Amino acid sequence: MKRSYSACIPILMAGFTVLSCGHPKNKYTSPEGYDFTKADKFNMPSSLLEISGIAFNESNSDTVYSVQDENGKLFRQQWDVKKQKNTKFAPNDDFEDISIMHQKVFILNSNGSVYSFPLSESLKKETDQVKEAKHIVPKGEYEGMFADAETNKVYIICKSCPVDKKAKTVTGYIFDYGAVADSLISIDTFKLDLKQLKVVNAKLKTSFSASALARNLKTNEWYVLSSANKLLVVTDAQWNIKTAHRLNSSVFNQPEGIAFDKEQNLFISNEGDEVTDGNILKFKYVHKQK
């Protein structure tokens, strides 16, 4: 069900304004410009049953790059074509997200390590051009990463970190990527204040286990997924929560990846299970009518 910000109530909280967008008739809502009841579904082959992160090169969605939880492989396939090709980049482990920036692939391990290699290596069956950045974030569990080509920054967000356990926050870490040194340099942190969830929707719990994030380059908003909570949060550029959207489990089986293309279409990948294929859902951007 599409919903306009005109139906939202601005509320001043802690010096900034958030939008209260509860809807009494439908607990499942969609972010501005999208309709989560209308998806173009691309079912994955069995090799990508446990698809986690997805990414596009320069926002071109004709080719989908992805990783899955257990294999140290980068997968690539044409949109709506099940046949995939893959490149071995590491031994089997727990790989959670992928991002591509300036022809460089970045892949996130759940322990916070980041693997990187040239995108051109994806044409090979195996690459030996991999660099692993270890111990760049505190010990914890990490599933979401986004590499921003406009700023050369890489963002990694906690799924479960000790710093957040009692604070009702979700912490993230920001890195500058230096192409010459081919290194990630820690420069800043950010936080989502989960108390803001109660402001935008009084029925939501103040818990959130981030599974993926992406920046909408047109609106400069952050879209942050929580598979465990079946929730999509939209924040402003300063990470203040603007809206929160419950996700229907019959549509979003296990949302683990998120990406935008150059047309501002939104893609969300879902892990499969014993009865459901892994898939990627495409939600077309609908221009707001004036």
- Could you tell me the pLDDT band of residue 26, with boundaries at 50, 70 and 90? low
pLDDT at 17: 45
- Could you tell me the pLDDT band of residue 180, with boundaries at 50, 70 and 90? confident
pLDDT at 162: 96
> Is the pLDDT score of 14 beyond 50?
no
The set of residues, in sequence order, having a beta carbon less than 8 Å from that of 67 and lying 6+ positions away, is: 51, 52, 53, 73, 74, 75, 95, 96, 97, 98, 107
Indicate the pTM of the whole model.
Answer: 0.90
Q: How far is it, in rounded angstroms, from Cα 124 to Cα 105?
A: 14
- Could you tell me the pLDDT band of residue 2, with boundaries at 50, 70 and 90? very low
Q: Rounded to whole angstroms, what are the CA distances from 112 to 16, 144, 254?
A: 31, 10, 21
Output the average pLDDT for the chain. Answer: 91
Rg of the chain over all Cα atoms, to the nearest angstrom: 18
What pLDDT, in 10s, does the model give residues 259-287? 999 999 999 999 999 999 999 999 999 97
- Could you tell me the pLDDT band of residue 134, with boundaries at 50, 70 and 90? very high
Nearest alpha-carbon partner for 133 in 124, 121, 125, 142: 142
What pLDDT, in 10s, does the model give residues 183-219? 999 999 999 999 999 999 999 999 999 999 999 999 9
